[in-house]
C-alpha cells in the first residue's frame, strides 16, 4: 500500500501522515524530516541542500529521487509506505510509479490531498513558530521563507492535484478541524482504499 500526502506547507501532512502510518503499520517517509536531519548532521547531502531549503525552494528532482529510492528500498517498506513531502513536482510524480514498480511495491494506491485555506495555513505556521520561539524552531517557518514556500507550492506542487485526479488515486480531504476530526476523514478514505 503506497499512500502519498499532498497539501500546502503547514496543512498538517506530517502530523496526519505519522498517525495514519502508525495505524496501518506502514513506515512514514518524511522527505522534509530526512533533509532537515541531513542539514543538521552536516552530511554531504545536507551541505548540498542547505541553501536551497533556507531560501524556501525545492530540492532538485534527481536528488529527491535518489533519497526516496534509497529509503523505499529498505526492508521495512516491503509492504508499502506513507510518503509525506514527496512527490512535490510533476517530474517527481512521473518517476515515482516506475521507481516503486521496479522495487516491487506496485503503484501509488491513494493520494490524500489535505485541503486547507491559505490564511489558515499561515496562522498554523505562525503558531508553530511562536510555540518554538527561543527553542528549536524550523528555519523554514520564518516569514520570508514561508511566503516563498507558498509561492513554490502554488506553482510547482498544486498541479499534482490534477495529475493524481487523472489517475483516479486522489482523495480531497477537508483539513480544517481538530487533529482527530481530520484524522477520521483521512482514515475513512484509507479504509475505503484498503477494501477495494
pLDDT digits (tens, 9 = 90+) for 31-53: 989 999 999 999 998 999 999 98
The whole-angstrom separation of Cα 87 and Cα 69 is: 12
Which residue among the candidates 129, 138, 142, 156 is catalytic per the annotation? Answer: 138
Element (H, E) at 63: helix 61-72
The whole-angstrom separation of Cα 96 and Cα 84 is: 13
Which residue among the candidates 19, 36, 71, 88 is catalytic per the annotation? Answer: 88
pLDDT for 141:
56
The whole-angstrom separation of Cα 42 and Cα 47 is: 6
Is 149 one of the catalytic residues? yes
pLDDT for 57:
85
Is 172 one of the catalytic residues? no
Phi, psi (degrees; rounded to nearest 5) at 49: -105, -5
Is 138 one of the catalytic residues? yes
Dihedral of the alpha carbons of 28, 145, 56, 35, in degrees to the nearest 10: -40
Q: Which CATH superfamily is 2-190 part of?
A: P-loop containing nucleotide triphosphate hydrolases (3.40.50.300)
Put simply, whether the predicted model's pTM sits higher than 0.75 gets the answer yes
Which residue among the candidates 19, 36, 71, 149 is catalytic per the annotation? Answer: 149
Is 90 one of the catalytic residues? no
Is 13 one of the catalytic residues? yes
Q: In sequence order, which residues have a C-beta less than 8 Å from that of residue 116 and are 6 or more positions away? A: 7, 8, 10, 11, 12, 124, 175, 176
Determine whether 124 is exposed, middle or buried from the number of CB atoms within 10 Å of its CB (0-12, 13-18, 19+).
middle
Dihedral of the alpha carbons of 113, 71, 136, 5, in degrees to the nearest 10: 0
Which residue among the candidates 102, 128, 154, 191 is catalytic per the annotation? Answer: 128
**76-96 mean pLDDT:** 94
The ranges assigned to domains in the chain are: 2-190
pLDDT at 133 over 70: no
pLDDT digits (tens, 9 = 90+) for 3-32: 999 998 889 999 999 999 999 999 999 998
Other Cβ atoms less than 10 A from the Cβ of 173: the count is: 21
Amino acid at each position: 500500500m503506497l499512500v502519498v500526502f499532498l497539501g500546502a506547507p503547514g496543512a498538517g501532512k506530517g502530523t496526519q501522515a505519522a498517525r495514519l502510518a502508525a495505524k496501518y503499520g506502514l513506515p512514514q517517509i518524511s522527505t522534509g524530516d530526512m533533509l532537515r536531519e541531513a542539514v543538521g548532521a552536516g552530511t554531504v547531502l545536507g551541505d548540498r541542500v542547505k541553501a536551497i531549503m533556507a531560501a524556501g525552494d525545492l530540492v532538485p528532482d534527481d536528488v529527491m529521487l535518489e533519497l526516496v529510492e534509497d529509503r523505499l528500498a529498505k526492508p521495512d517498506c516491503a509492504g508499502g509506505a506513507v510518503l509525506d513531502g514527496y512527490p512535490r513536482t510533476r517530474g517527481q510524480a512521473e518517476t515515482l510509479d516506475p521507481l516503486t514498480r521496479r522495487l516491487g511495491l506496485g503503484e501509488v494506491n491513494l493520494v490524500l490531498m489535505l485541503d486547507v485555506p491559505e490564511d489558515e495555513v499561515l496562522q498554523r505556521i505562525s503558531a508553530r513558530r511562536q510555540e518554538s520561539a527561543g527553542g528549536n524552531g524550523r528555519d523554514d517557518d520564518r516569514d520570508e521563507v514561508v511566503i516563498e514556500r507558498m509561492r513554490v507550492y502554488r506553482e510547482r506542487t498544486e498541479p499534482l492535484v490534477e495529475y493524481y485526479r487523472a489517475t483516479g488515486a486522489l482523495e480531497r480531504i477537508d483539513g480544517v478541524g481538530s487533529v482527530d476530526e481530520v484524522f477520521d476523514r483521512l482514515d475513512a478514505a484509507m479504509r475505503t482504499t484498503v477494501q477495494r
